[in-house]
Chain A
């Protein structure tokens, strides 16, 4: 059993207040959450039932023109120039007049892009010194997991973390979120983004979202463009698929009628549309994700799945995962909507506050150096049985 009340709230209050700052990729998020101090949390395994209240959840996304990716230095500039104003907005929304009331300021320590992470932590340190509020460094993926658990109340699900920078299948055991399977090269979000770039699909609101809409519009859903299917045991690799589908996309975009797959050899009439490519890519990539997830579920014999990370908002992925879970003794899939599955500050506050309540805070700013590589299984999960 676990005591989540080990570290009490400030000046005898009966609730905790935490500020969360996220900026590991192109989304800058500020969130403020509140946990009630409840006796039941003193001796239980209820870290997914904190009765967390969201006081504010503000976010600004750095978007580049269609066909362009986002570079660390421009992303960092975006975060740096918006961070202070977003914190002010969040405090206003949360109705917090005296920020020194906060129990903790939680920031994303990693993994992610170095410069954007750093631009956020400089402000976090300054706030911590000014308000005399202790800092907590949070692993970005653990943030996603704890947010998903709290929102969906899924007790001990296998977690599929799919975003621009990560693709991992994770299961909890012995105070550690173990990585059961992962991408051997690029993350799925990255694969979708680069595919969108080749086809000049807009980045607003996100390339992945636009691919999903195009896939729905695909007219002949019964015949797929055949793509490589590269699952290797519990892991998967996507660079091969990206390379192949990218070359198809280029041929399509430049009307290269010599490509037999895309254009009829005699008439030169286009056989495959952008929608078909989007549909085939999704069916292929998501089938691989569901397969490695099912393999991990069989391994730890669980029938619950939690999908976190930006790509988790994809309804088709959720559908396919749900269909798989139904066949595994009526399991369920849990997913959160874009307020939470896309990077946000609330998830960092939630995971950070759990660390804070277990007494894990930073006392020397030297421990706040951000890191691009921060594996999910390096975190000691004290708040779970």
Chain B
């Protein structure tokens, strides 16, 4: 991550908000901080606040020097607004697990989001699906993994049933969060998300996740993808005949996309 970008956001956030960079994608840089953007400090000391202070995620779209300023401004505003709207709308859908949107600055391309997940035991790293599955590599088909993957599929089913698409559904964009004792999967990073009724976009979503699972956990991928699809189908099966028909269309297109080897999902 170039220092210039870090200086840019540090100046924007001012020194009152210390930040820790955690990742740089093509378009946005992600930081964490434990300073809330606007709430008075004393308000948020909820009783069971463990030693770690609550953390917040800051997703920042830095200015791209290669782009003409007017294109850069318009794009940053359009995309920051788009991602915020999706997050806000998705958090209102019952049963769909997405992080809460806290604040948005469309003029500077900055979004504040609830921090989810934690570090897995024995330094397996952050609790995204990729590391979670690596953690269970010694007992790959245990009940916990099966339950979690079915829930992951269920979340994607809910997303698609409500005609939203993720756009970049990799195993690092599914985060596991401890909800009273067991892991609940949350979908994060809707930077490429969109509302879409197209079976093509849904098929590609599923294909990207399948390729991600194959490329990082190839030996157990078949069973893992099967459990995810089981969870996915359960959403549509609960929606009667209309659900069955829609599911059939999506699964058919998913098959076609797989055959076409939709190149965009060629994960390294």
Contacts and interface: CB of A to CB of B under 8 A. Distances in A.
Contact of B26 (A229, A298, A323, A329): A298
B66 A233 contact: no
Contact of B66 (A224, A298, A320): A320
A370 interface: no
Contact of A224 (B25, B64, B70, B75): B70
A326 B120 CA distance: 35
B66 A290 contact: yes
Contacts of A223: 70
A323 B66 contact: yes
A375 to B, nearest CB: 9
Interface stretch (B35-43, B142-150, B222-230, B260-268): B260-268
B: contact size bracket? 20 to 34
A233 B264 contact: yes
A171 B71 CA distance: 27
A42 B24 CA distance: 39
Contacts of B64: 324, 327
B49 interface: no
A341 interface: no
Contact of B263 (A179, A291, A295): A179
B168 A178 contact: no
A173 B268 contact: yes
A171 B264 CA distance: 11
B27 A295 contact: yes
B68 A283 contact: yes
Contacts of A328: 2
A174 B68 CA distance: 37
B4 interface: yes
Contacts of A179: 263, 266
Nearest to B266: A178
A186 interface: no
B71 A229 contact: yes
A173 B266 contact: yes
Interface residues of A, number: 36
B268 A299 contact: yes
B264 A235 contact: yes
Nearest to A182: B263
A329 B66 contact: no
Contacts of A298: 24-26
A137 interface: no
Interface string B71-92: 1001100000000000000000
Interface string B101-140: 0000000000000000000000000000000000000000
A327 B5 contact: yes
Closest A-B pairs by Cβ, 4 of them: A298-B26, A295-B26, A179-B263, A323-B66
Interface of A: 171, 173, 178-182, 222-224, 226, 229, 233-235, 283-284, 287, 290-291, 294-295, 297-301, 319-321, 323-324, 327-329, 377
Given A223-B70, A234-B264, 17 more contacts: A173-B266, A178-B266, A179-B266, A180-B266, A182-B263, A226-B74, A235-B264, A287-B66, A287-B68, A294-B26, A294-B27, A295-B26, A298-B26, A300-B268, A319-B66, A323-B65, A377-B261
17 contacts: A173-B268, A180-B263, A182-B263, A224-B68, A226-B70, A233-B168, A234-B264, A284-B71, A295-B27, A298-B26, A300-B268, A301-B268, A319-B66, A320-B67, A323-B66, A327-B5, A327-B65
Interface of B: 2, 4-5, 24-27, 64-71, 74-75, 167-168, 192, 261, 263-264, 266-268
